[in-house]
């Protein structure tokens, strides 16, 4: 269905402020983001988009783009988790691993991501995001295929490091992609959908490993698992190069009018799309911004939990008295839980328009479960109680995606966004490095050190959430004062968190608020442009029109 612009007289009668027109010769359009450059040359009708237009374009983007980013992240998680699957089938013995070498094989992927994050931050600004993703996609699949030939700790560790380097950009890239295609109301569900691919990878990876574990072959089971998972990534990377657009203005499956509508939808976010100019001032602002570091703390805390549970989850299950094939089948249940809690938490954020309450509720479950798992005795007679608590612990899987959505909804400026993702992934990688090291093989099946650490960091995370809410409230009040000081209305409705069916009603409220501030004949209500700075590649702290999401 083609998106049709409304009649011209409709736009002339609009009482509310409209967007600023982009002049092709205006330096801001050249130094701003790609969306501003495209709008500067757009020859079609410029108008306030309707609910119908927004819905048609959103559904088209969902249909074409969501499957691509889902299977990319699914494949990455499948390949990264292949080591965990192989642990059930004796990789420790077959690859001659001793002592803490298995733990280090789990952690070394995150060392690689730690080292490669600066490159990832730079690449996401300078290169088309789709090309960079596909390059990394093929790279980690090839690395895993080569790992099939490795039969010692040193050789597997070297290839795991390379695999981790290629994977360093993928989740940050997914966040950038979602922020340039969907409104802030729509982003949590889309982020949690692609992040729930981690759960599907656990389910299908467990089934795949179960089948490969029974296969008769000259290869060890772990080698078969590495080879099959790696080949899936390599094969999928080539069609992805063609199917994945780099930007809304370059999507083959959108008409020119639909590209315009897609950009006007993103204008509401006040976060822009993508700029190819790397701005050191935005890097400095990001490093000096307290909220950036609070999100790093949150990500570190939950990554310490997920790193330990992700690497030792199957071994913890074995400690409940399960054999290897029971363990691999039971290991599918956390995958299903991960999918369910990711979707439910995203729906909660979408309809409440609030991230922090959803995050606090989600954190309560693993906190209670870690305490119970620490206290419960082990043994086959306690299997049902232990399994129930272990599955309750899996609610932690939605927390990372919630923090991602909350962070990206409150960060603007392309270089600042990519730098923020780099900082987040520094926290994530350090947490995932430390997490497995806290689970000592000699403490099996209790793993008291790891569970104690989980309790501590989850409490720290809850405290940080409260501090972040207070800081964001302060920033919103500050922006109200800044808007009034510049002659604008203090009221600035955030359409990006609202359903498009409410936009017309909200435009009337915005207009009424401006009349109350400026008067019917005042210049403010007539001349003020709405979200005019959205595509100037300003940061959230620079743009007084920015509304922080709580």
Chain segment 322-331, per-residue pLDDT in tens: 777 777 778 7
The angle formed by the CA atoms of residues 189, 400 and 294, to the nearest 5 degrees, is: 115
DSSP letter assigned to residue 540: T
Q: Is the pLDDT of residue 334 over 70?
A: yes
Q: Is the pLDDT of residue 402 over 90?
A: yes
Give the residue, 385 or 59, on which the prediction is more confident.
Answer: 59
**Residue percentage of the chain with pLDDT more than 70:** 90
Given this model, what pLDDT does residue 446 score?
83
pLDDT in tens, 422-466: 899 889 888 888 887 888 777 877 888 888 999 999 999 999 999
* Average pLDDT in the chain: 84
The angle formed by the CA atoms of residues 288, 290 and 364, to the nearest 5 degrees, is: 150
CA distance 382 to 390: 12
Q: How many residues does the chain have?
A: 550
CA distance 453 to 296: 17
The angle formed by the CA atoms of residues 447, 431 and 371, to the nearest 5 degrees, is: 40
Q: Is the pLDDT of residue 1 over 70?
A: no
Q: Is the pLDDT of residue 17 over 90?
A: no
Give the residue, 30 or 516, on which the prediction is more confident.
Answer: 516
Residue 209 and residue 85 in contact, taking contact as beta carbons nearer than 8 Å: yes
532: which 2 tokens?
A: 């005019």
Q: How many CA atoms lie within 13 A of 541 on its CB side?
A: 15
Q: Is 129 left (phi over 0), alpha (psi -120 to 50) or beta?
A: alpha
End-to-end CA distance of the chain: 36
Q: Is the pLDDT of residue 244 over 90?
A: yes
**Number of Cβ within a 10 Å radius of residue 382:** 14
Given this model, what pLDDT does residue 10 score?
41
Give the residue, 398 or 379, on which the prediction is more confident.
Answer: 398
CA distance 502 to 365: 34
Most confident segment among 118-127, 279-288, 330-339: 279-288
Q: Is the pLDDT of residue 527 over 70?
A: no
Given this model, what pLDDT does residue 272 score?
77
Q: Is 44 left (phi over 0), alpha (psi -120 to 50) or beta?
A: beta
Given this model, what pLDDT does residue 473 score?
96
Best CA proximity match to 333, nearest among 400, 392, 383, 401: 392
User: Which residues are CB-neighbours of 492 under 8 A, at least 6 positions away?
Assistant: 479, 480, 483, 510, 545, 547
Token pair 């994530």 in the structure block, residue: 428
Best CA proximity match to 88, nearest among 308, 305, 316, 370: 316
Given this model, what pLDDT does residue 210 score?
80
The angle formed by the CA atoms of residues 499, 33 and 510, to the nearest 5 degrees, is: 35
Q: Is the pLDDT of residue 5 over 80?
A: no
Mean of the pLDDT values across residues 286-294?
96
Q: Is the pLDDT of residue 517 over 70?
A: no
pLDDT in tens, 195-231: 889 888 888 888 888 888 778 888 888 889 999 999 9
pLDDT in tens, 162-202: 999 998 888 888 988 998 999 999 999 999 999 889 888 88
Query: 521 pLDDT band (50/70/90 cuts)?
Result: very low
For the chain, domains (ranges, CATH) are 51-263+275-476 (1.20.1250.20)
Burial state string for 161-193 with b = 16 or more CB within 10 A and e = fewer than 16: bbbbbbbbbbbbbbbbbbbbbbbbbbbbbbbbb
For helices 170-181 and 256-267, angle between their N-to-C axes, nearest 10 degrees: 100
Global pTM reads 0.81
Q: Is the pLDDT of residue 21 over 60?
A: no
Helix (H, G, I), strand (E, B) or coil at 318: helix
DSSP string, 345-372: HHHHHHHH--SHHHHHHHHHHHHHHHHH
Best CA proximity match to 73, nearest among 191, 181, 153: 191
């Amino acid at each position: 269905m083609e998106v049709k612009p409304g009649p011209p007289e409709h736009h002339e009668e609009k009482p509310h402020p409209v967007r600023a027109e982009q002049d092709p010769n205006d330096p801001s359009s050249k130094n701003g983001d790609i969306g501003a450059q495209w709008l500067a040359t757009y020859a079609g009708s410029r108008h306030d988009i309707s609910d119908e237009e927004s819905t048609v374009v959103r559904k088209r983007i969902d249909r074409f783009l969501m499957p691509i980013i889902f299977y990319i992240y699914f494949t990455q998680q499948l390949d990264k988790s292949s080591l965990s699957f192989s642990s059930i089938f004796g990789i420790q013995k077959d690859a001659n691993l001793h002592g803490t070498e298995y733990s280090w094989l789990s952690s070394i992927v995150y060392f690689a991501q730690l080292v490669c994050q600066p490159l990832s931050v730079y690449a996401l600004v300078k290169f088309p995001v789709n090309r960079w993703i596909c390059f990394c996609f093929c790279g980690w699949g090839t690395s895993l295929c080569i790992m099939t030939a490795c039969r010692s700790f040193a050789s597997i560790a070297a290839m795991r490091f390379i695999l981790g380097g290629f994977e360093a950009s993928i989740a940050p890239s997914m966040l950038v992609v979602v922020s340039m295609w969907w409104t802030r109301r729509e982003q949590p569900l889309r982020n949690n959908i692609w992040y729930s691919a981690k759960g599907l990878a656990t389910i299908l990876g467990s089934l795949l490993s179960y089948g490969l574990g029974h296969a008769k072959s000259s290869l060890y089971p772990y080698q078969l698992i590495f080879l099959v998972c790696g080949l899936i990534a390599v094969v999928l990377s080539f069609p992805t190069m063609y199917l994945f657009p780099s930007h809304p203005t370059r999507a083959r499956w959108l008409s020119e009018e639909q590209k315009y509508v897609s950009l006007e939808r993103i204008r509401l976010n006040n976060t822009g799309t993508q700029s190819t100019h790397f701005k050191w001032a935005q890097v400095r602002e990001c490093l000096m911004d307290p909220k950036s570091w609070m999100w790093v703390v949150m990500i570190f805390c939950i990554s310490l939990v997920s790193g330990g549970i992700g690497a030792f989850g199957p071994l913890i299950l074995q400690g409940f008295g399960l054999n290897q094939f029971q363990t691999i089948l039971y290991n599918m249940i956390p995958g299903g839980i991960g999918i369910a809690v990711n979707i439910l938490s995203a729906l909660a954020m979408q309809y409440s328009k609030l991230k922090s309450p959803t995050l606090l509720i989600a954190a309560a479950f693993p906190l209670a479960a870690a305490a119970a798992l620490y206290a419960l005795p082990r043994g086959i007679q306690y299997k049902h109680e232990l399994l129930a608590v272990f599955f309750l612990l899996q609610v932690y899987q939605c927390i990372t995606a919630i923090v991602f959505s909350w962070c990206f909804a409150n960060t603007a400026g392309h270089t600042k966004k990519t730098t923020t993702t780099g900082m987040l992934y520094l926290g994530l990688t350090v947490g995932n490095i430390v997490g497995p090291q806290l689970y000592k093989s000699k403490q099996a099946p209790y793993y008291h050190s790891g569970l104690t650490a989980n309790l501590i960091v989850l409490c720290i995370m809850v405290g940080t959430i409260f501090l972040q809410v207070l800081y964001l409230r302060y920033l919103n009040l500050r922006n109200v004062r800044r808007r009034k000081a510049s002659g604008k209305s203090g009221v600035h409705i955030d359409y990006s968190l609202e359903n498009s069916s409410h936009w017309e009603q909200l435009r009337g409220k915005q207009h009424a608020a401006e009349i109350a501030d400026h008067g019917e004949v005042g210049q403010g209500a007539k001349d003020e442009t709405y979200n005019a700075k959205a595509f100037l590649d300003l940061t959230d702290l620079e743009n007084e029109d920015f509304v922080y999401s709580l």
